[in-house]
Amino acid sequence: DAGVTQSPTHLIKTRGQQVTLRCSPKSGHDTVSWYQQALGQGPQFIFQYYEEEERQRGNFPDRFSGHQFPNYSSELNVNALLLGDSALYLCASSLLGADTQYFGPGTRLTVL
């Protein structure tokens, strides 16, 4: 039973560029959430997708957008990258309404 997978593992971009991160949920899960984890901090909620729509959103600007596909996989897009966007981006999957979320290994984004 495959867990949550994310790609790529690492990514280096320059300021102003755009980036797309990908996530495949755990088998049987239909809901995907994205989190940003800055160095030395706990993860912060970005948004959650279910049935290909954004259901909830945290305190992140519109530069952060996402998408969910019919197979439940998801993408996180960040436009006009800033140095402060450097972080570990985590994807978590769950069943809709379930409190427990299962995390992938993350994508380490470095913005230069």
Partner 1 sequence: GQQLNQSPQSMFIQEGEDVSMNCTSSSIFNTWLWYKQEPGEGPVLLIALYKAGELTSNGRLTAQFGITRKDSFLNISASIPSDVGIYFCAGPGNKLVFGAGTILRVKS
Q: Are strands 102-103 and 44-50 parallel, antiparallel or unpaired?
A: unpaired
Question: Of 85, 106, 109, 111, which lies in the binding site for partner 1, with binding defined by CB under 8 A?
Answer: 106
Nearest of 13, 54, 31, 41 to residue 102 by alpha carbon: 31
Binding region for partner 1 (CB under 8 A) out of 12-20, 62-70, 71-79, 93-101: 93-101
Among 21, 25, 26, 48, binds partner 1 (CB under 8 A): 48
* Of 14-22, 41-49, 61-69, 75-83: span binding partner 1 (CB under 8 A): 41-49
Q: Enumerate binding residues for partner 1 (CB under 8 A).
A: 4, 31, 33, 35, 40-45, 48, 55-56, 58-59, 90, 92, 94, 97, 99-106
